[in-house]
Amino acid sequence: MPVVEIALLRSLPLFAKLPAPAIEGLAAALTSVHVPAGAVLIGQGELGDAYYAIAAGELDVRQDGHLLRRCGRSEGVGR
């Protein structure tokens, strides 16, 4: 059972109220993605095709070069 992944999903408001079997299924299907510092995860104007739950580190959400917010562990971005 992916305990760390289940805990991460439970910490996200989007998934927190799902029943245990649903959380376990989602946790088992997660794919880990490492994004190097300074890399762009989703470019402005691009259509998102995934939801990214942040397990470690931080990412900046920018629009037209301006910082909108900084996201960290137990937050997510995407679609």
How do the pLDDT tens digits run along the chain, 79 residues long? 689 999 999 999 999 999 999 999 999 999 999 999 999 999 999 988 899 999 999 999 999 999 999 999 999 998 8
Alpha-carbon distance values, 66 to 28, 35, 45, 55, 76 (Å): 36, 20, 15, 24, 19
Q: Is 36 helix (H, G, I), strand (E, B) or coil?
A: coil
11-50 in b/e burial notation, b at 16+ Cβ within 10 A?
Answer: beeebeeeeeeebbebbeeeeeeeeeeeeeebeeeeeeee
Note the pLDDT of residue 24: 95
**Residue 2: per-residue pLDDT:** 84
What is the amino acid identity at position 31? T
pTM: 0.82
